[in-house]
């Protein structure tokens, strides 16, 4: 994870059109921890939501063949069950709950050693890429985390 750059997913472990499983390694140090919280560093819950949204997003990009871009539209029933300190290895999962017209709903979660950390239902709008630069970046990020390789495995 590079929290300051919103790069939350480090490696895709497995993906198919219906679900994704990925790894996210919380860094030992980050400016984020200086504020959240002094003397008690924790990954902010909003960044755990972002982590689940990115897993859902990569799942949808894979499903759509990068034809369009998913954007987070709503978060429902988000529950944060446990603190996440620096240096934690997380597993992130997302599954398609519903494939709608111009949107998708996923059920996503984060675990540590099999223990549930957080989960939520996410809705993502699926829109044309608004900029060629974004599409190129998403393809490069997907390559970085091994999305294509996981799909072929």
Spatial distance between the Cα atoms of 124 and 71, rounded to a whole number of angstroms: 5
Measured CA to CA in angstroms, residue 70 lies from 56, 99, 125 at distances of 9, 12, 5
- Catalytic: 36? yes
Cα–Cα distance between 138 and 43 in angstroms, integer?
Answer: 24
- Decide if residue 99 touches another protein (CB under 8 A): yes
- Contact between 90 and 47 under an 8 Å Cβ cutoff? The reply is no
Indicate the pairing of strand 69-80 with strand 115-127: antiparallel
Return the number of the residue (51 or 106) whose C-beta is nearest another protein: 106
Closest approach, Cβ 104 to another protein, in A, equals 10
If one asks whether residue 123 binds another protein (CB under 8 A), the answer comes out as: yes
128's enclosing H/E stretch is: none
Q: How far is the CB of 88 from another protein (least distance, A)?
A: 33
Q: Which is nearer to another protein, 100 or 130 (CB)?
A: 100
Q: Which is nearer to another protein, 88 or 123 (CB)?
A: 123
Please give the residue ranges that form the binding site for another protein (CB under 8 A): 73-74, 98-103, 105, 123, 125
Catalytic residues: 36
């Amino acid at each position: 994870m590079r929290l300051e750059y919103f790069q939350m997913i480090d490696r895709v472990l497995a993906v198919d059109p219906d679900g994704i499983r990925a790894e996210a390694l919380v860094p030992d140090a980050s400016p984020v921890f200086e504020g959240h919280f002094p003397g008690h560093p924790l990954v902010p819950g909003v960044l755990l939501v972002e982590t689940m949204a990115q897993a859902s997003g990569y799942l949808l990009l894979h499903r759509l063949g990068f034809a369009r871009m998913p954007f987070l539209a709503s978060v429902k029933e988000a529950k944060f069950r446990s603190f996440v300190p620096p240096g934690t290895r997380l597993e992130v999962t997302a599954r398609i709950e519903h494939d709608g017209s111009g949107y998708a709903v996923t059920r996503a979660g984060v675990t540590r050693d099999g223990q549930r950390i957080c989960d939520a239902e996410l809705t993502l709008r699926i829109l044309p890429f608004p900029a060629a630069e974004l599409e190129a970046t998403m393809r490069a990020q997907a390559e970085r985390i091994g999305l294509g390789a996981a799909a072929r495995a």
